[in-house]
Structure 1
């Protein structure tokens, strides 16, 4: 069993069953989440017998670090799971803080045609300890503290709801990684049932929410994001308009701009029309497509990106251009892929 798959309450029950004092659970988690000690032998406020018991019966994390690929603006970590799969995690250097982009699945079943991860299909969901293990291993190798976590790596987070939720609980709890809820972001392709579930969840609805739209017309969105056939754009917008966000926060609408596909003025005008009545509830992130040799799309010229932004700004919709970091190491938005032959 993995310690990092348990909440404090669950670990307290475990140590109680062993016959230890309940506070031992807090001591163990303090070593892991505050000091980033990943070896039971170093937990010196536990007895030798207790450390030996933990070593014989528990593990802390399940990922093997295979390789680190560095670029000036980011660093990509390749991990191998116990069953031999590869997952990717990206550390992003922001101006005044570090952001960790974590994966939630091995592959992805959503099937977005502009995303490299989708080419592998879905192998399986990541377990709680595999999600938390990404943070722990990267932080243990990083001098500065990681302040932000974004579920924008491999996979659709809301399709792995239970494991992602429990990982989030560990991340934001005072006994865990103690991150601010406003520094944890969930990025989704727009799974309507799961978004409704998130809206009713007191923990999950306080996180930052980013939703990929990528096309303002239903038929075009279906061609880019096949899930839109059953999670229609109209239904998605209804859910987002009713999402219980406080007035001082906004839902991020993510829009990947693909040259000659969804980057024309008519697309910008229709997107503005869809969002205009709730313009104080949304902000738009325009993401120029990150090229991949295995995908048939191209990045639009920046003049088209600025033109698209101008249309939205003129309608009073806050719109920002996000130039993804990590492009040089295939660690940018839409570029993560478990079966890419980077290990050669």
Structure 2
């Protein structure tokens, strides 16, 4: 049996044709799943009993099992178990007037960032489209009537290393017959795999979603220390690709910069970041993210004074920037932290 959430609408129409069902039935099922978040064929009352019986014989709904939910005032972290017994994290972030869902795209990660708990166990495998989409479905079912306005691929894993499955998930998220999010409300956060960024730039569909790139250092040497991937994806080449990336009108690329005490948080680092951006100030905005402490990692969060000094340098150069203090520290909110804690407890 297959998971029905593995299919985009057009794929499901073709599958239904193979099963002898009219293609419009796929649209009906899509609406039940992604408009009403009903994951029980027996409750899809505009389908005949025969159709419901056939679909129950052919399809399943949830490739993930929810095994833990940890709540804090500003975030909820969910842990899911896959059918092959891996653990996946998802974080629901409570904003002032809406919710943002941070979804994972891989189990573990091969990028190897030294400040990230997800990297500690390396890459296990890519998540399937249905495993990505099911994170949204199950959180939304848990949330009830309140709406999730934004989806960010900023959880475990490197989204662009799982391009096809992420692309299909995004298609379901933005489909008018699916979850129907605006493309402006979907963000792909990447460590900067240059070949895949170029692929995204050539893809008329994917280049319309928001792009966030983890920069985290302003020299090639320092970035290699923090992000080993940089050895083959150089900072110079990355900035060239980003400066020519075909952006939709009025859209900007977000540069994510994790501030780590004594590593990359000095005013001089801020000056060099401003120089990297140069005359392209209207193309970029910078998210300054104070490091989220983890007992398994050898780093500390900078003082508030040092964070503000860094920010003021960017302001001096007219660079739009925001300090994003990590939400959900109480729920081990940084990527991989709660998963790592649970897996350690199970050993």
Q: Deviations over 1:123-168 (max 9, x none)?
A: 0000000000000010011120111100000000000000000100
Aligned to 2:342: 341
| C-alpha distance after superposition, 1:67-107 (max 9, x if no partner) | 11111101111100000000010000001111000000000
What is the CA–CA distance in structure 1 between the aligned matches of 2:81 and 2:296, rounded to whole Å?
A: 23
Contact 2:89 2:336 in 1 (8 A): no
TM-score (norm 1): 0.97
- State the partner residue of 1:2: 3
Structure 2 SS opposite 1:277? coil
Alignment of 1:209-248 (within 5 A): 209-248=211-250
SS in 2 for 1:209: strand
Q: Runs of 4 or more off by more than 3 Å in structure 1? A: 334-339
> Any conservation in 2 of the 1:247–1:281 contact (CA below 8 Å)?
no
The residue aligned with 2:274 is: 272
Match of 1:202 in 2: 204
The CA deviation at 1:246 is 3.3
Please provide the CA RMSD for this pair: 1.2
Q: Is the 8 A contact 2:63 2:82 kept in 1?
A: yes
Alpha-carbon separation, structure 2, partners of 1:17 and 1:232: 47
1: CA distance, partners of 2:122 / 2:4: 30
Quote the Cα distance in structure 1 between the aligned partners of 2:279 and 2:337: 35
Tell me if structure 2 keeps the 8 A contact 1:185–1:207. yes
Q: CA deviation at 1:315?
A: 0.6
Gaps of 5+ in 1: none
TM-score w.r.t. the length of structure 2 is 0.97
Tell me by how many angstroms 1:247 deviates. Answer: 4.5
| Bigger Cα displacement from structure 2, 207-216 vs 247-256 | 247-256
Q: Is residue 259–residue 291 contact of structure 2 (8 Å, CA) maintained in 1?
A: yes
Give the number of equivalent residue pairs.
343
Match of 2:15 in 1: 14
Task: Give the Cα separation in 1 of the matches to 2:108 and 2:253.
Answer: 25
Which stretch shows the higher mean deviation, 17-26 or 235-244? 17-26
Secondary structure of the residue aligned to 2:171 is helix
